[in-house]
Amino acid sequence: MAKPFFRLQKFLRRTQFLLFFLTAAYLMTGSLLLLQRARLRRRWFHHFMGDPPGPPALSPEAPQPATSSRGTYVGCFSDDGQERTLKGSVFFDLRKMTVSHCQDACAERSYIYAGLEAGAECYCGNRLPAMSVGPEECNHECKGEKSSVCGGVGRLSVYRVEELQPGSRKRRTVTYRGCFRLPENITHAFPDSLVQANVTVETCSGFCSQKEFPLAILRGWECYCAYSTPQFNLRDAVDSSLCGQESEAQRLAEYCEVYQTPVQDTRCTDRRFLPTKSKVFVALSSFPGAGNTWARHLIEHATGFYTGSYYFDGTLYNKGFKGEKDHWRSRRTICVKTHESGRREIEMFDSAILLIRNPYRSLVAEFNRKCAGHLGYAADRNWKSKEWPDFVNSYASWWSSHVLDWLKYGKRLLVVHYEELRRSLVPTLREMVAFLNVSVSEERLLCVENNKEGSFRRRGRRPHDPEPFTPEMKDLINGYIRTVDQALRDHNWAGLPREYVPR
């Protein structure tokens, strides 16, 4: 009797042990996988802000247009339609939006109006519709300022900020773009004009800015406002001396002087979510530091649709990437940013734009971002520490496996080289937009070209930095470049741009 009992006990103890081990092992692998994932994801979770709770509505008697603000309150305006009411720059801040923050942001860019919406959004513009709505419809409290009003849902609290001197930085002004031959059909190419004696650059630019035209054109005493178009593009400047004549002679001689006004080209600034869920799920895939955010900026402005992200980055959301906060599988966005390179992550997408950048530049950009954020630069001590060689060692192989994996598992690809996009923006963007099956006018692409920088570009590596790559690092990276170059050719793509190829 005792023997089987002991045997049973022993068996149970053993199974328990085994179970314990299995559980422990299971948990450990689980957390290792999680760690691995967290390692990847953590970097993009700068400020996790969570979903905003419904905005606190104020009672009708509570709202007071901010008194501390320096602009003049104009009224509450509707922002419901297909097109935005204020079409200029956009900023969001889910936690800290205030009236003066928005006013400064718009004044700095020389806009006439600053409008706050839904407690957290700020829009700039130079034109307002004639009719405002009832003042009680602007009833949301600003996220960053108790008891002041920041619009409502589809409602803008608008301030005039024209006379404001923005705090720290100078207002942008007009810039001379050169002397140009007049287009064949002036009425067609120059949609608006100012007829007035003694027109100056200032009066003409002021008039055109007010009407949201990015170009002010002077020909003798005539002032025209225009956008760049295929019929009148700014690549074909002529010798400036052809414009440098007496006004009367200039008027007769078919030339004109072109100035860029401080306002943004607004033909491509409206963006929205897809009206119906997309059937094809498209990735915008790149290695970190390869210009993914910049490509998103271009795609959003070209197509007019928001892009999404596999991650969540509050700083990007605050700059107007509204799709950042959508769930990445919502299918309300035109494409979804990802840096992932696992087979499963790749196969979830039906197609992908694969954005590739020179690994030397990607590594520097990503190291800067890791050390100092989206627009900062890593400090000297970062470059000199062990951190940098460690970073190069692990990231260089990831740079290559990222491309190889997408080539292998991606279902339908468009390979885009960052350098090509920089060098010839409009044609490359035209290809990307065609791949996304969106039809876009040539005017809209030219508008994107005028707005091409966005607010998310670090200007190269800081000047005067020493070359950060040692000969061993270069050997390593060059090896990966050759591998990727070959893999691209094997998949019937052109190889890497020539400038990558080992020096």
Give the footprint of ligand NAG on this chain (CB under 6 A).
185, 187-188, 197-198, 280, 282, 351, 436-437
Q: Measure Cα distances from 244 to 201, 235, 238, 249, 470 in Å.
A: 14, 19, 12, 10, 53
**Rounded CA separation 496/485 (Å):** 5
Q: What element of type H or E holds 72?
A: strand 72-78
Q: What is the nearest approach in angstroms of ligand NAG to the Cβ of residue 443?
A: 13
Smallest distance from ligand NAG to CB 148, Å? 43
Least spacing, CB of residue 278 vs ligand NAG, in Å: 7
105 and 161 Cβ atoms separated by less than 8 Å:
no
192 vs 465 by CB, closer to ligand NAG = 192
- Residue 164 beta carbon to ligand NAG: minimum distance, rounded to whole angstroms: 29
Token pair recorded at residue 436: 């996304």
Q: Which is nearer to ligand NAG, 7 or 188 (CB)?
A: 188
* Least gap, CB of 185 to ligand NAG (angstroms): 4
User: Shortest approach of ligand NAG to residue 250 CB, angstroms?
Assistant: 16
The residue sitting closest to ligand NAG, measured at its beta carbon, is 188
Q: Smallest distance from the beta carbon of 95 to ligand NAG, in angstroms?
A: 35
Q: Which residue has the tokens 């414009």?
A: 243
Nearer to ligand NAG, 299 or 392 (CB): 299
3-state DSSP of 116-159? EECCCEEEEECCCCCCCECHHHCCEEECCEEEEECCECCEEEEE
Q: Which token pair is 330?
A: 């919502």
Residue matched to tokens 């494409």: 335
299 close to 336: Cβ distance less than 8 angstroms: no
Q: Which of 87, 37, 35, 460 is nearest to 289 (CA)?
A: 460
3-class secondary structure, 115 = strand
Beta carbon nearer to ligand NAG, 393 or 437 = 437
Toward ligand NAG, which CB reaches closer, 92 or 227? 227
Distance (Å, whole) CA 356 – CA 483: 14
Give the shortest CB-338-to-ligand NAG separation in angstroms.
Answer: 15
Tokens linked to 49: 């802000």
Nearer to ligand NAG, 310 or 395 (CB): 310
Spell 90-115 as b/e; 16+ CB within 10 A means b.
Answer: bbbbbeebbbbbbbbbbbbbbbbbbb
Q: Report the residue number, 72 or 185, with the smaller CB distance to ligand NAG.
A: 185
Q: Which is nearer to ligand NAG, 61 or 184 (CB)?
A: 184
Min CB(412)–ligand NAG separation in Å = 6
Q: Look at phi and psi of residue 118 and say left if phi exceeds 0, alpha if psi is from -120 to 50, else beta.
A: left
198 burial type by CB count under 10 A (0-12 exposed, 13-18 middle, 19+ buried): exposed
Nearer to ligand NAG, 136 or 350 (CB): 350
**Given the complex with ligand NAG, which of 111 and 232 has the nearer CB atom?**
232
